[in-house]
């Protein structure tokens, strides 16, 4: 007969990266906080003495924020009271945890393994498990400084100072504006991320000056509009070429359309075209769809 499953809080980053805190099999309530009397002690100035309580009720596992100063985030949203599910991501101060489930007979072995030192470990994880939006909200809350290296469709870097993103770039995409690079990475749904302590010095005027709220809202808009375009139209993926003779004369085209045609004529692939042209990915894709329907480009 298989062993019963026990929910655990796995530290993705923070005080005890890689460690598990079991929420069972014995006990019904566990307090997390900075106080030495807490069940889960989090020695972090951003954590209140009694920050949040995990407890069982009606056969379910719940979290209640205990009036903490900096709040508790679950899956990127501030909560007061929340029913927990496997896979939920919890941010308490500078600690990022994930709710998981393990067989009860594995707990003792896991506890022994966790006694080894975790010194020098950096925050790392999978975008599939923790979307970048959640990671950035946690980094902002914990006021982290360093470089978040993201490996998805390409390799990108987000540079942070006290939790604020001040620059972004994607390898092999020289000339790509920092905000476009950031929004592009926000659309990656597969890959990994890792935080280290590296920083970068920039020339005056190169730093981003946008809020996290703007970044999250703009990234959501771009992703939603691109999905809407793809659902209703054929959109470019890699190759894009010119149609000869075109069904619409070039002299009848607008400036943005001619800019795209120039890039296609130079033999650039679609990703490079998106990087080069000044518009965001939605507007450039809309231009390509329009030219495709007009019989000017093909893909």
Residues 6+ apart with CB under 8 A from 135: 96, 125, 148, 193
Q: What is the pLDDT of residue 19?
A: 87
Report percent pLDDT > 70 for the chain: 93
For the chain, the structural domain boundaries read 5-112, 123-217, 233-298
The overall pTM is greater than 0.85: no
Q: What is the pLDDT of residue 69?
A: 92
pLDDT at 121 over 90: no
Angle subtended at Cα 241 by Cα 235 and Cα 247, rounded to the nearest 5 degrees: 90
Say how far apart CA 93 and CA 47 lie, in whole Å. Answer: 5
Sheet containing strand 89-92, strands side by side: 20-22, 5-13, 95-103, 89-92, 72-74, 77-79
Report percent pLDDT > 90 for the chain: 64
Could you say which architecture CATH assigns to the domain 5-112? Sandwich (2.60)
Q: What is the mean pLDDT of the chain?
A: 88
pLDDT digits (tens, 9 = 90+) for 27-53: 899 999 999 999 999 988 889 999 999
Tell me which DSSP letter residue 36 carries.
Answer: T
DSSP code per residue over 154-178:
SEEEEEEETTEEEEEEETT-TT--H
Q: What is the pLDDT of residue 39?
A: 94
């Amino acid at each position: 007969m298989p062993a019963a499953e026990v929910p655990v809080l796995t530290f993705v980053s923070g005080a005890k990266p890689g460690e598990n805190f079991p929420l069972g099999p014995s006990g019904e309530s566990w307090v997390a906080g900075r106080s030495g009397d807490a069940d889960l002690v989090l020695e972090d100035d951003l954590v209140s003495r009694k920050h949040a309580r995990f407890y069982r009720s009606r056969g379910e596992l719940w979290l209640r924020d205990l009036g903490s100063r900096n709040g508790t985030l679950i899956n990127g949203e501030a909560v007061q009271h929340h029913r927990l599910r496997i896979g939920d991501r919890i941010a308490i101060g500078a600690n990022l945890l994930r709710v998981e489930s393990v067989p009860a007979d594995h707990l003792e072995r896991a506890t022994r393994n966790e006694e080894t030192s975790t010194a020098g470990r950096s925050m790392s994880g999978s975008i599939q498990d923790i979307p970048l939006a959640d990671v950035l909200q946690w980094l902002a809350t914990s006021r982290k400084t360093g470089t978040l290296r993201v490996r998805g469709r390409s390799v990108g870097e987000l540079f942070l100072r006290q939790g604020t993103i001040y620059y972004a770039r994607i390898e092999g995409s020289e000339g790509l504006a920092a905000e476009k690079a950031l929004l592009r990475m926000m659309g990656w749904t597969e890959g990994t991320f890792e935080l280290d302590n590296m920083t970068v010095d920039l020339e005056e005027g190169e730093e981003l000056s946008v809020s996290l709220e703007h970044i999250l809202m703009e990234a959501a808009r771009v992703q939603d509009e691109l999905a809407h375009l793809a659902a209703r139209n054929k959109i470019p993926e890699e190759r894009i070429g010119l149609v000869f003779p075109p069904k619409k004369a070039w002299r009848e085209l607008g400036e943005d359309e001619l800019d795209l045609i120039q890039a296609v004529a130079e033999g650039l692939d679609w990703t490079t075209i998106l990087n080069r042209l000044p518009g965001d990915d939605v507007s450039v894709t809309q231009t390509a769809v329009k030219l495709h329907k007009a019989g000017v480009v093909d893909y």
